[in-house]
Amino acid sequence: MKKDNVFEFFRRLAELNPSPETELEFGNTYQLLVAVVLSAQATDVGVNKATRALFREVKTPAQMVALGEAGLKEHIKTIGLFNSKAKNVIALSEILVERYDGEVPQDRDALVELPGVGRKTANVVMNCAFGAETFAVDTHIFRVGNRTGLAKGKTPLAVEKQLEKKVPAPFRVGAHHWLILHGRYICKARSPECWRCPVVDLCAYKPKIMEKGAAKKAS
């Protein structure tokens, strides 16, 4: 995708949604970190259902440690991989208490050292909590980046590097939100809804579905 088209791509998405936000529910940076860790291979809707009661009870790493692994599992047992996620959340909470006075570090390298926190999770926290220009490449962004021609890459990291290179300054903080939402609700995996896409004319995807209810002709 050409430079001018990249700008126009994000300009249109920004016009439709000037203040994009994560759909995960949280009350502070620590709760955001926990929610993102829990969201791996799970939906935001499912995570939110599990964390509403949890976050009323637990607002700090110290409170999570006090709740304990068994107590946490009771809250999140509807989420996939809840056993390993509970273990990681308790472990990272202990580290935050011991090393960071209960605060979430504003550094990606420090974040990825926490149990259960990979580069994508760290990027989400850096962006949503601290306003960093990071690009958390999940399955939606990976698909949209490659399908549209915006940021092609064979790995999430390759797509992330392309986004870092191509996304213009006015849109860098909100970019990953716009792309996630676009992939989640319009540029869907099986049947992209090209007929209502605001950037369809900028997209390199060939087998566009331009009528509602039409079957996709090619993958």
**Active-site residue numbers?**
120, 138
Please give the radius of gyration of the chain, using alpha carbons only, rounded to the nearest integer.
19
Is 197 marked as binding a ligand?
A: yes
Is there a contact between 135 and 162 (Cβ–Cβ < 8 Å)? no
Tell me if 128 is assigned to a ligand binding site: no
Residues annotated as binding site for [4Fe-4S] cluster? Answer: 187, 194, 197, 203
